[in-house]
Amino acid sequence: VRCQPISTRATTVPLQGFPGVRSRTHPVGAMTERQKGFAALGITVLCWVGSSELMQWMEEGEGYNHPITITMTCAVSFLLYGGVPTLDPNAQTQEAKAKATATGRVDRFVDLFKRLGLVAGTFTLLWISANLAFTASLANTSSASAVTIASTSAAFALVCSVAVGIEKYSTRKLVAVSLTCIGTGLTCIADTGDGDHSHQLLGDSLALASAAMYAMYLVLFQKEVGDSVPTEQFLFIVGVWALALVPLATVFEPIVMPSGKQALALLANAVIGTAVSERAWLYGATKCGPTTATMALSLTIPFTAAFDLARGRLDGLHGAVGLVWSSGLLLICSGFVLSSTDESEPPPDDRRGTRAGADAS
């Protein structure tokens, strides 16, 4: 008897908890859509950690404290997707190849702008406001506190996504978000003892405002765009809107040219901390849902806390204060683990099928 090669065997994976959904077949070792989403969220976490530390180094070490210039540079970096081939498999069709000419690209951009121009404009305003608030918060509080408070975007994402009907409410999600919020509160209470920042309340408030806007633009993308068009094309339209808003931004803050090292750091932050991380985050949100995607950002907290401890920025967290702070981090991470194991939502493919059926109706 000739055995079939292991690499080509398939196994049936039952989808427990999804009434009426058939079991589907996956090759052994192949990643499911949800696993791909978590991998993308992992890339996002690494990019965000590096970005927050890099920006804090520029502001505190290099004295380059120009949050509007930094944010607009990051927003304009989405224009890079104008020259990046789409990751959509359907783009390899003959029709897509025919549209690869310069004229076809312009026509396609005009069509997409007509369809998604208003959504992309709203997305751009929310994105710029959220990131501007977060960047400004890093100058007024520790990066651990800023990222911790920003993780409360999961609560806003849960409320918004349930309200617009792209996610279903579940007790597990509510408990997960509650754990994250409680952990955030404990961490912030402990972090007030950090004497390195004289505007702790202002920094925490800016981080909280950014958390709300993060959730809003993520839910907006999932609701209005999702898989209807390649994400790269949508982000390119966002970059066009951002470029159009640059003259308005100069009214609030004159553009200050960075030095050599600052320019390299600014470019690295724009490409890795924005263009790459945002694409990965939106992909993860599409596969895992907005609530889980926003809660995934809480994983940046242990890493940023490690950076702060290594640099001596959290020396005041000893004894009971340190215990409260550590308990807060544990609750936040526990909330993400609980949310990631929630199976009340169908997989992304089933959501697309449901939405396609509704559109056909």
pLDDT in tens, 248-283: 888 888 877 888 888 888 898 899 988 999 999 888
198 — pLDDT class (breaks 50, 70, 90): low
> What pLDDT is stored for residue 83 in this prediction?
63
Arithmetic mean of pLDDT over the chain? 74
Least confident range from 13-17, 150-154, 273-277: namely 13-17
- Lowest mean pLDDT, pick from 64-68, 113-117, 137-141, 343-347: 343-347
Q: What is the pLDDT of residue 127?
A: 92
What confidence category does residue 285 fall into, taking pLDDT thresholds of 50, 70 and 90?
confident
* Confidence at 243, pLDDT banded by 50, 70, 90: very high
Q: pLDDT for 113-135, tens place per residue?
A: 888 889 999 999 999 998 888 87
Mean pLDDT, residues 36-53: 85
Residue 202 pLDDT greater than 50, yes or no: yes
Instruction: Record the pTM.
Output: 0.73
Residue 204 is predicted with a pLDDT of 81
Mean pLDDT: which of 11-20, 191-200, 328-337 is highest? Answer: 328-337
Res 195 pLDDT > 50: no
Query: pLDDT band for position 356 (50/70/90)?
Result: very low
State how far the Cα of 215 lies from the Cα of 227, in Å rounded to an integer.
18
Give me the pLDDT at residue 104, please.
Answer: 64
Q: What is the mean pLDDT of residues 220-243?
A: 88
241 pLDDT higher than 90: yes
Q: Torsion angle of alpha carbons 108, 353, 288, 20, nearest 10°?
A: 180
Residue 14 has pLDDT above 60, yes or no: no
Percent pLDDT > 70 in the chain is: 70
Task: Tell me the percentage of the chain whose pLDDT exceeds 90.
Answer: 9
